[in-house]
Amino acid sequence: MDILTTDISSLSFKIVKEKVDEININEVYNSEELIEIINILKSDKRKNINNLGDKLQKAKEKIENEIKRVRNMYNFDKSFENYNIIAGVDEVGRGPLAGPIVSCAVVLDLNVIDEDLILWINDSKKLNERKREELASIIKEKALAYYIASRDSKQIDERGIGVCNNEVFLEACNSLKVKPDLVLSDGYTVKGIQIPNKSVIKGDTKSACIAAASIVAKVYRDNLMREYAEKYPYYGFEENVGYGTTKHIEGIKEYGPTEIHRMSFLTNILSNN
């Protein structure tokens, strides 16, 4: 942070901006040095340099607000005080016409300092693809344990989506290397589970473990559907990940279903073809 040791009044805006852009706000947001740099920028006589200070200030506040939000999610999981090891479980792919249903269970270390919180975790649908990919890697690296379970289209046709949904929840929770004392599930309880289980409405926005599970599950399934898109190029799987978009339905009507389609979901489409 050589802005602290440089008289910026003699530097051009371009050079000052380059120095500001080098600052990793995630690493220094709570440092005294950053506050000093913001004050230096705001004290400069040039408006555009002042704006750089305002930008840094907003970035600092954004990180601080995010830490508060995520800390609340961790604290939600910790609020179940009679339990020491909490797992969150969520699924993705209940509604598509093609591809598997996927569940993930995640156990996070809930007793971390602010610097080790996994920031930006949320309902996976509220995150863009790049952010989900980035977070999925961080979650798998930092999680005490995680497990991904799936059921394919054939199994869904044979046993029904509700049964398969519960099966992937059970498998994911029961296969964790670190056995949880409590499982938090998104939306509804898991039938037949032998571990204490509480359902959380909109859990992927309230619980750190459920949010982490939703992200890992979605990234896993989305990547799988992109692979299927190369094998079956007429259905737009790379964009719709198996959901019933216009392009997908048109592909079914023109080329017929593939081996990854859920025939039990296609009755109306095929009957109108």
d(C-alpha 229, C-alpha 239), whole Å: 9
Does residue 239 have a known ligand-binding role? Answer: no
Contact 104, 209 (CB under 8 A): no
d(C-alpha 71, C-alpha 119), whole Å: 9
Closest CA to 131 of 57, 204, 218, 206: 218
Both tokens of residue 165?
């949904």
Does residue 91 have a known ligand-binding role? Answer: yes
Closest CA to 88 of 134, 40, 123, 115: 123
d(C-alpha 139, C-alpha 116), whole Å: 11
Both tokens of residue 22?
């080098």
d(C-alpha 77, C-alpha 144), whole Å: 15
Binding-site residue positions for a divalent metal cation? 90-91, 186
Binding site residue list: 90-91, 186
